[in-house]
């Protein structure tokens, strides 16, 4: 694929009781790309991202990151490599927005030390980029769902990692802020060489922003590869059971998916 492998997964499985969220999955992902994870609800996208971030431990199989098994990385070492923006982030304590962003700098701050001027500068820069500086002293418990998601995304940017995992990271945002977030991460991939792996539901946004796609169903990979090769009407029918039309849209500059109303 022309780029180094960053994740390698072999015979990977994780289940909740009798439900196999990830079922004997095999997948390799190259670095420096914007990967989109697509599939129906319950297909294993969120669980897979949790495994890649080591929030969960595989019950079978293994994951390698940059050629080394994930379990061999130290916690602080891994936190400097991979940032996760979770789908659900519940904070019951009144941390300010600035304090939340500084949590992203914890891997770089020595134990018992205070944030450095560099840490504070990075937090300031991220708040300016995401236009959340006005919330600096607000408690996160006071923010709307979309505002909270922007703050948690900002924390991941402040973490300054080569890999960013997004789990439906814009689900509570309006379209303007969604496009802002996707523009930022796509720019980091194109100009900064970052790797972004995002679980998405919106097929057309995935087609607009992602270089590569992974389609999942029932905990397994159905199709994976370059966007224009795997985003097909046949794949969408196999994965989602829907009829559609896939076409190239000149305005968007990429393939898009059209649906027709299904009448009773």
User: What pLDDT, on the 0 to 100 scale, is given for residue 261?
Assistant: 86
Q: How far is it, in rounded angstroms, from Cα 52 to Cα 193?
A: 19
Cβ contact 76:24 at 8 Å: no
Cβ contact 34:210 at 8 Å: yes
Q: How far is it, in rounded angstroms, from Cα 189 to Cα 208?
A: 14
Contacts of 215 (CB under 8 A, 6+ apart): 38, 39, 221, 222, 223, 224, 230, 235, 239
Asked if the model's pLDDT at residue 108 lies above 80, the reply is yes
User: What pLDDT, on the 0 to 100 scale, is given for residue 1?
Assistant: 40
Q: In this predicted structure, which of 35-49, 92-106, 224-238 has the lowest mean pLDDT?
A: 92-106
Cα distances (angstroms) measured from residue 253 to each of 185, 186, 256: 18, 15, 9
Q: Residue 94: count other Cβ atoms within 10 Å of its Cβ.
A: 11
**Mean pLDDT throughout 27-44?**
97
- Dihedral, 108, 184, 188, 54 alpha carbons, nearest 10: 50
Asked if the model's pLDDT at residue 130 lies above 80, the reply is yes
User: What pLDDT, on the 0 to 100 scale, is given for residue 2?
Assistant: 45
User: What pLDDT, on the 0 to 100 scale, is given for residue 92?
Assistant: 74
What are the beta bridge partners of residue 7?
A: 29, 65
**pLDDT tens-digit map of 23-33:** 999 999 999 99
**pLDDT tens-digit map of 133-156:** 999 999 999 999 899 999 999 999
**Mean pLDDT throughout 211-227?**
97
**Region class of 2: left (phi > 0), else alpha (psi between -120 and 50), else beta:** left
Asked if the model's pLDDT at residue 88 lies above 80, the reply is no
Q: How far is it, in rounded angstroms, from Cα 10 to Cα 77?
A: 23
Asked if the model's pLDDT at residue 258 lies above 90, the reply is yes
Question: What domains, with CATH codes, occur in the chain?
Answer: 1-81+161-264 (3.40.50.300), 89-160 (no CATH)
User: What pLDDT, on the 0 to 100 scale, is given for residue 264?
Assistant: 77
**Mean pLDDT throughout 8-20?**
94
Task: Quote the mean pLDDT of the chain.
Answer: 94
User: What pLDDT, on the 0 to 100 scale, is given for residue 90?
Assistant: 73
User: What pLDDT, on the 0 to 100 scale, is given for residue 89?
Assistant: 76
**Mean pLDDT throughout 234-263?**
95
């Amino acid at each position: 694929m022309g780029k180094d492998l960053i994740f390698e997964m072999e015979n990977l499985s994780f289940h909740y009781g009798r439900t196999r969220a990830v079922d004997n999955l095999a997948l390799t992902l190259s670095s420096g790309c914007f990967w989109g994870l697509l599939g129906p609800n319950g297909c294993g996208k969120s669980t897979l991202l949790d495994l890649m971030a080591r929030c969960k431990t595989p019950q079978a199989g293994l994951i390698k990151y940059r050629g080394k098994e994930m379990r061999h990385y130290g916690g602080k070492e891994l936190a400097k490599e991979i940032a996760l923006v979770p789908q659900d982030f519940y904070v019951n304590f009144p941390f300010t927005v600035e304090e939340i962003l500084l949590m992203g700098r914890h891997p770089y701050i020595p134990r018992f030390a205070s944030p450095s001027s560099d840490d504070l500068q990075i937090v300031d820069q991220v708040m300016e980029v995401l236009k959340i500086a006005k919330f600096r002293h607000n408690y996160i418990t006071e923010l709307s769902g979309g505002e909270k998601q922007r703050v948690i995304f900002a924390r991941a940017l402040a973490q300054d990692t080569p890999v960013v995992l997004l789990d439906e990271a814009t689900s509570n945002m309006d379209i303007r802020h969604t496009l802002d977030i996707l523009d930022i991460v796509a720019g980091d991939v194109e100009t900064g060489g970052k790797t972004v792996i995002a679980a998405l539901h919106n097929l057309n946004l995935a087609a607009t922003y992602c270089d590569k796609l992974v389609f999942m169903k029932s905990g397994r990979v159905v199709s994976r590869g370059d966007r224009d090769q795997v985003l097909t009407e046949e794949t969408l029918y196999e994965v989602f059971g829907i009829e559609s039309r896939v076409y190239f849209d000149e305005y968007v500059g990429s393939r898009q998916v059209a649906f027709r109303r299904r009448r009773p």
